[in-house]
């Protein structure tokens, strides 16, 4: 069987997405084309800045 997996996790204060193709054959698993990318939080800084403003 061939499966495509994707997962999201946080490590060291950063968010990551990781995807890979997994082939299950003869009772063994092989991972191919594994890729990890950092997910940028575009609005997190803006929300933090706007909450710190005093009126």
Average pLDDT of the chain? Answer: 80
Q: Tell me the C-alpha distance between 43 and 18, whole Å.
A: 22
- pTM for the predicted model, two decimal places: 0.60
State the virtual CA torsion across 43, 10, 18, 48 in degrees, nearest 10.
Answer: 0
Range of the domain at 11: 1-49
User: 53: helix, coil or strand?
Assistant: coil
pLDDT value for 42: 58
The stretch 18-47 carries a mean pLDDT of 84
Q: Is residue 54 in some structural domain?
A: no
Domain count, the chain: 1
Judge contact between 34 and 17, C-beta under 8 A: no
Q: Tell me the C-alpha distance between 10 and 12, whole Å.
A: 7
Q: Is residue 55 in some structural domain?
A: no
**pLDDT tens sequence across 3-29:** 999 999 988 888 999 999 999 999 999
Q: Tell me the C-alpha distance between 28 and 34, whole Å.
A: 17
């Amino acid at each position: 069987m061939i499966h495509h997996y994707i997962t999201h996790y946080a490590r060291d204060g950063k968010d990551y997405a990781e995807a890979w193709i997994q082939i299950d054959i003869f009772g063994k698993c092989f991972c191919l084309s594994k890729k990890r990318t950092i997910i940028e939080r575009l609005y997190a800084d803006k929300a933090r800045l706007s909450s710190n403003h005093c009126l």
